[in-house]
Structure 1
Amino acid sequence: MITSINKRSYPNTLIVILAQDQGKSSYIEKNDITQVTDEQGNVTGYNFFNVDQLIDYDKLPDGQVELTDEELTKLNEKLSQVGFDTQLGYGEPTLVYGYVKTCDPHPDSDHLHVTTVEVGNDREVQIVCGAPNIAQGQKIVVALPGTLMPNGQQIWPGALRGVDSFGMICAARELGLPHAEQKRGIMVVPDDFTVGAAFEAQKCDELLANGKIQL
């Protein structure tokens, strides 16, 4: 579940994304809530309008927001009140530390690589990566499907030159870190970072500032 706010383009609105859109979307409006479904009838998200009546909108930042238990409860109560069956819930973190288990040349590209990345809980994902410094044995930051990046990009499964990819291996600049250099290349974190643990922006930026993270 991605929850985000864009105070300039969509004032006083909380956007909730539950899944990737598949084909043409349909909309059902009830009071201050719009439900979004795809062509198969799957619920892919909600827009909560006049959301300041439910939660403290002014304190929330632009971009992705982390809801408190109290805020989530109020949103679910509102969904039930207006007649929607869906109940929102927290998911596992989607921006995590990973380990590059394998890294092979893409069969149809001279610069892409096909990687197998461990992301915790005995789970591995295949990710196509175009960074020039990607290599086997690195610990890196992975944006898994369902991640909303600081620039507003949403990460979903896709394919690059015919090879399936289930996430993105991140550069420091893509993570919006203040001390990131504006150049190509993924960020390599220290070996003692725990695979599957949630990304810590402040910690990584401090290491960047002190030259303790590779670019």
Structure 2
Amino acid sequence: MLIASMNQVAFPNILVVMTQPDDKKQETVEKQSIVRISNQANQTIGYNFLAINELLPDLQFNGVQTLTKQEVTVLNEALVAAGFTGDLVADEAPHLVVGYVQESVAHPDSDHMHITQTQIAPDQTVQIVCGAANIAQGQKVIVATVGAVMPEGKVIWPGQLRGVQSDGMICAAREIGVVNAPAKGIMVLPDDWEVGREVTVEAVAALLK
């Protein structure tokens, strides 16, 4: 997993890369304008590239952006040159996709949550805990997969809800940024939308017109 972001106003010329969730106790090591951030188990959770213009001079954006394989290769070469491990893996797959709820059962420790088995690609099914009242087996839904960054900045990591593993988020239209979408309930998509297809705000907004 690789999430890259920049804030040209507050932190010009710095690329922030996340590979794992934050840890309460972190350690940092800086070498050659690259800061490695690790957790208590000494696992890399991210890097700050403090002079990104020297590595990728054409990289200019604000917010979160998908890096190409070629750009990630350049970053890995810089990591190795600085004495770190070049362990970044490009992630060019879409993170808002059409999912199909194959199964939905009541959560054993909640009066409103459901545990779903949701297909997100022809060969991939994940378990997602959903708290929406209108979730049901057989629906096509919007899934924010692990690695997605929501409009308000929340990152979707693997986790647990009330003790049950959940690897993704089944979304309401408003949660992906559709203006004037209903405030409650997940968005149920048309049956002819293909599982794994990328979901865009524009396409969902058109359904609601």
Per the shorter chain, which TM-score range? 0.7 to 0.9
Would you say 1:192 and 2:181 are equivalent positions?
A: no
Matches within 5 A, 1:99-178: 99-177=100-178
What secondary structure does 1:5 align onto?
Answer: strand
Shift of the 180–77 alpha-carbon distance from structure 1 to 2, 3 Å rule, reads: farther
Residues 63 and 152 in structure 1, CA contact (< 8 A), matched pair in contact too: no
Residues 96 and 200 in structure 2, CA contact (< 8 A), matched pair in contact too: no
What secondary structure does 2:12 align onto?
Answer: coil
Q: Give the Cα–Cα distance (whole angstroms) in 2 for the partners of residues 175 and 182 of structure 1.
A: 12
The residue type paired with residue 117 of structure 1 is T
Q: Give the Cα–Cα distance (whole angstroms) in 2 for the partners of residues 9 and 173 of structure 1.
A: 28
What secondary structure does 1:142 align onto?
Answer: strand
The residue type paired with residue 115 of structure 2 is V
> Which residue number corresponds to residue 49 of structure 2?
48
- Point out 4+ residue stretches in structure 1 off by more than 4 angstroms: none
Q: Give the Cα–Cα distance (whole angstroms) in 1 for the partners of residues 69 and 165 of structure 2.
A: 36
> Which residue number corresponds to residue 25 of structure 1?
26
> Which residue number corresponds to residue 82 of structure 1?
82
Shift of the 205–59 alpha-carbon distance from structure 1 to 2, 3 Å rule, reads: farther
Q: Give the Cα–Cα distance (whole angstroms) in 2 for the partners of residues 168 and 86 of structure 1.
A: 30
Deviation of 1:29 (Å): 0.6
TM-score, length-normalised on structure 2?
Answer: 0.86
Q: Give the Cα–Cα distance (whole angstroms) in 2 for the partners of residues 8 and 174 of structure 1.
A: 26
Residues 98 and 143 in structure 2, CA contact (< 8 A), matched pair in contact too: yes
Residues 151 and 177 in structure 2, CA contact (< 8 A), matched pair in contact too: yes
Shift of the 131–8 alpha-carbon distance from structure 1 to 2, 3 Å rule, reads: farther
Q: Give the Cα–Cα distance (whole angstroms) in 2 for the partners of residues 167 and 139 of structure 1.
A: 15
> Which residue number corresponds to residue 73 of structure 1?
73
Deviation of 1:56 (Å): 4.7
Q: Please give the root-mean-square deviation of Cα atoms over the aligned residues, in Å.
A: 2.3
The residue type paired with residue 36 of structure 1 is I
Identity %: 45
Q: Give the Cα–Cα distance (whole angstroms) in 2 for the partners of residues 57 and 149 of structure 1.
A: 25
Deviation of 1:22 (Å): 4.8
Residues 2 and 18 in structure 1, CA contact (< 8 A), matched pair in contact too: yes
Q: Deviations for 1:185-209, whole angstroms, at most 9, x for unmatched residues?
A: 212222222212333333333333x
Q: Which moved more, 1:46-55 or 1:112-121?
A: 46-55
Residues 12 and 57 in structure 1, CA contact (< 8 A), matched pair in contact too: no
TM-score, length-normalised on structure 1?
Answer: 0.84
* Unpaired stretches in structure 2, ≥5 consecutive residues: none
Deviation of 1:9 (Å): 4.0
